[in-house]
Amino acid sequence: MSDMKLEQDQKQTPSENAPKMRRDLSPSEAVHEKDWSDHKGILIVVEQRGGIAKKVSWQLLGEGRRLADKLQTHLSALVIGSNVSGLAKEAIYRGADNVYLCDSVELENYRTRPYSKVCLAVIREYKPEIVLLGATYTGRDLAGAIATHLPTGLTADCTQLDVDENRLLLASRPAFSEKMLATILCKQYKPQMATARSGVFLALPLDPTRQGDIITIPSQMTEGEIVTQVLDFLEQTDHVSLEDQEIIVAGGRGLGGPEGFVMLQEFADALGGVVGASRAAVDAGWIGHDHQVGQTGSTVRSKLYFAIGISGAVQHVVGMQNADMIVAVNRDPQAPIFKVAHLGIVGDLFTLVPALTEAIRAQKRNSGSVPVAL
């Protein structure tokens, strides 16, 4: 994959926190007069629902720990919600040096304005140089709301993060129809902000011996000041969340049509997993987009990943290459997928997959469990 470096220099909307400009300087020259040296540290905004944190938040804490150590600075987490003090402690156990905790009944459910006001209060008071959020529906909404009130840019949906010798955040994301990886810099403003995909980074294991400060942050709005209300949550029962699955059976163009995914579903059911797909299969209309793995789909870290009838285009590989065990089934021995697979099977998938399904069912009938070899 190609790597391209871009500089983010977008026109900014004036805000109360924008740097003051002299009349004899151009806007770009005036921005350089702002002293950002008081901005230090990395802040991870922890996303939660019902007191349970999203996996991407702990993954970002793991990556944030690496970046903070590289910059020789501190790593902070921001936890917002109601009855979420336990998450604040867990954030410390997972790598944070300190946690900002805003725990109030009106923050039980996510709403853009009250959550963004808390984030802005923390950012303006404690001045982190980097702020990271998950690229979830909530994270994208919250990050955009925050960035519009700060003199800064926002890089969305990142798949790689790093920092350089000038303390610049190197935020990389797919670009140009997924054919290139663009590394975007925000050179003139702080904090540097980015959202990152779930499944890309590795969360640190829990370490209950870690110590850190929990700093209480007051809620910035009362219930009467919030114009929106959450009436109910309607669960989407047919939606597949691939990021949380331990076993994924993914199919590609080699399945030949939607009928092939019926066969894969039987195989996945036997294994206790779910069905995934390549972009080619989704674009062909054989299966829904929520099953797609890759740069324009989900990025997964499953324990077991079957790539069946998938050639191994880079757009797909970047979404599944971090699985613990990758098993590829393809009739072409030169297929690129075999370069990333831990185990490769060359043969006719329409013969192999039903045979594997029946063998697993037989094993479960005899012993009540999936074969240990899998």
In a domain, 230, yes or no: no
Note whether residue 59 is domain-resident: yes
| 3-state secondary structure at position 154 | strand
> Are residue 176 and residue 209 in the same domain, yes or no?
yes
- Coil, helix or strand for 4? strand
The answer to whether residues 266 and 338 belong to one domain is yes
CATH number for the domain spanning 308: value is 3.40.50.1220
Domain annotation covers residue 369: no
Q: DSSP secondary structure string, 182-204? A: EEEE--S-SSEEEEE-TTSS-PP
Same domain, 157 and 274: no
Tell whether 218 and 255 lie within a shared domain: no
Say how many C-beta atoms besides its own lie within 10 A of residue 256's C-beta.
Answer: 14
Assess whether 219 and 294 both reside in one domain: no
Q: Are residues 141 and 207 in the same domain?
A: yes
| pLDDT lower than 70: segments of the chain | 1-33, 177-179, 236-238, 368-374
Q: Where are the alpha helices (DSSP H) in the chain?
A: 27-31, 55-71, 85-93, 112-126, 137-147, 259-271, 279-283, 314-320, 349-367
Domain boundary among 225, 256, 287: 225
Are 204 and 345 found together in one domain?
A: no
CATH number, domain at 46?
3.40.50.620
Residue 73: CB atoms within 10 Å: 18
Number of domains in the chain: 2
Q: Which of 225, 259, 288 is the last residue of a domain?
A: 225
Pairwise CA distance, residues 181 & 238, whole Å: 32
The pLDDT, as a whole number, for residue 22 is 41
353 neighbors 267 (Cβ within 8 angstroms): yes
In a domain, 112, yes or no: yes
Specify whether 26 is located in the same domain as 62: yes
- Measured CA to CA in angstroms, residue 144 lies from 35, 119, 132, 151, 274 at distances of 24, 12, 12, 12, 32
What 3-state class would DSSP assign to 115? helix
C-alpha neighbours within 13 Å on the C-beta side of residue 374: 24
Residues 292, 155 share a domain: no
- Tell me: do 209 and 259 sit in the same domain: no
pLDDT at 27: 43
Helix (H, G, I), strand (E, B) or coil at 103: strand
Sign for the CA dihedral angle at 55, 175, 181, 306 comes to: positive
pTM attached to this predicted model: 0.78
What pLDDT shows up at residue 370? 62
Per-residue pLDDT of 247-265, as tens digits, reads 999 999 999 999 999 999 9
Cα separations in angstroms, 130 against 64, 65, 186, 191, 316 = 9, 12, 10, 5, 29
Q: Is 65 in the same domain as 141?
A: yes
| pLDDT score recorded for residue 342 | 96
Q: What is the CA radius of gyration of the chain?
A: 23
Structural domain that includes position 269: 242-363
Q: Does residue 370 lie within any of the structural domains?
A: no
In the block, tokens 């919250």 appear at: 142
Q: Provide the pLDDT for residue 237.
A: 62
Instruction: Please report the pLDDT score of residue 33 as a whole number.
Output: 54
Q: Which residues, other chains included, contact 70 with Cβ-Cβ below 8 Å and sequence gap of 6+?
A: 163
In a domain, 231, yes or no: no
Contact criterion met (CB below 8 Å) for 149 and 134: no
For residue 216, is it within any domain?
yes
Structural domain contains residue 314: yes
Same domain, 297 and 195: no
Measured between alpha carbons, how far is 141 from 133 in angstroms, rounded to an integer? 10
pLDDT tens sequence across 159-209: 899 999 999 999 998 777 666 788 999 988 899 999 999 888 999 999 999
Burial class (CB in 10 A: 0-12, 13-18, 19+), 231: exposed
